[in-house]
Amino acid sequence: MNISTLLQGIASFAWIGFIGVLVTIFIRVSRNQPVKGLSSLVVVLLVVAILLTTAGAGVVFIEPDQMAIVVTIIGGDGIRPEPLKAGLHWIVPFAERVERYSILNQTYTLSSTPDEGQAVGDDAIQVRTKDGQQVYIDASVIYAIDPLKTRDLYRTWRFDYENGLVRPQTRGIIRDVASQYGVEEIVSSKRTEMQLEITDQLARIFSDNNLVLRDFVLRNIRFSDEYALAVEQKQIAEQQAQQAKFVVESKKQEAEQARQTAQGQADAAVIASKGAAEARLIQAKAEAEANRLLAESLSPTLLQYQYILKLAPGVQTIFIPSDNQFILPLPNTTTATPTTP
């Protein structure tokens, strides 16, 4: 409760008391009863009621979240040049009155959901896009009164700026801007660009009409049922194509893995074959070298001796062919024991 309200309350009680005392005086006079003292009381109450009423009408308290303009009949153009800020002020009683404006942020919502916005029912904005598709846009405008232009706002719009300015300008600008884009651009690549363009245009319009745009929120974009179904079918087809592509890639990877495995096995077989061939070559070379060394070490006598050894272990003598008339003695294979001279 502020002082202005308090004064007006006390003034109301003073007027009630004045009327009560005045009625009492009339009753006592009609009964020929004395009214001494009541006459003075009624005068005092009348004076107090008038003073308090006048003070209550002249003292104005402006809340911290308010600005006020003073409408006056005293000269000028009917409005005081300077608005009243928060605090206690004095105006001329019964010659001036105060019109208050809230300087808090206000939100105006246009929505297809009933009871969500200011209008009853579906208040979404219907827009025909550049490519002929019908879309429905939900949006919110957050704005405030420009404290420095409260006087001009009162002169231009009074208190009807929401229905007279905010709503029609918001709907018109959204419709005009959105119609310059295709439906795919609105919902994807150009959505932010469109929102910024709407914000810029609204900010200029509001500034020209003594309001300040705080923010513009593009809440939702809804398509027609036919287009929504087409988009859903397209997304399903794209998902199926992606799945098929994934399967193909998986098969390619499996084939590549099998090819690499086969290549590895083939390479291993080649390496093993080369190793075996090289081993045999080394062995053949070794055998050839052994044979060469053996051939170099062989003599006719040694060959005859090896031949005789292979005949039988108990043979002591052999017959030579018929053209030789003597018997060859076996070579002495034992080593003679040296004698000591």
For residue 85, the Cα-to-chain-centroid distance in whole angstroms is: 41
pLDDT of residue 324: 52
Kindly report the pTM of this predicted structure.
0.61
Least confident of 46-55, 111-120, 186-195, 316-325: 316-325
Top-confidence residue, 338 or 293: 293
Q: How many CB atoms lie within 10 A of CB 213?
A: 20
Q: Which residues contact 203 (CB under 8 A, 6 or more apart)?
A: 213
Domains along the sequence of the chain with CATH: 3-99 (no CATH), 106-223 (3.30.479.30)
* Cβ-Cβ contacts under 8 Å for 108 (sequence gap 6 or more): 117, 118, 140, 141, 143, 162, 166, 167, 170
With CA atoms as reference, report the closest residue to 331 among 319, 320, 317. 317
The pLDDT, as a whole number, for residue 335 is: 46
Quote the CA–CA distance of 70 and 267 in Å, as a whole number.
100
Half-sphere exposure of 198 (CA within 13 A, CB side): 28
pLDDT per position as a tens digit, 208-234: 999 999 999 998 888 877 776 666 566
pLDDT tier at 246, thresholds 50, 70, 90? confident
C-alpha span between 18 and 256 (Å, rounded) = 108
Tokens of 225: 């049922």
Q: What's the pLDDT at 286? A: 82
Q: Are 139 and 125 contacting, i.e. CB atoms less than 8 angstroms apart?
A: yes
Residue 37 has pLDDT above 50, yes or no: yes
Q: What is the pLDDT of residues 262-317, one digit of tens each?
A: 888 877 777 877 878 888 888 888 878 777 776 777 666 666 666 666 665 665 66
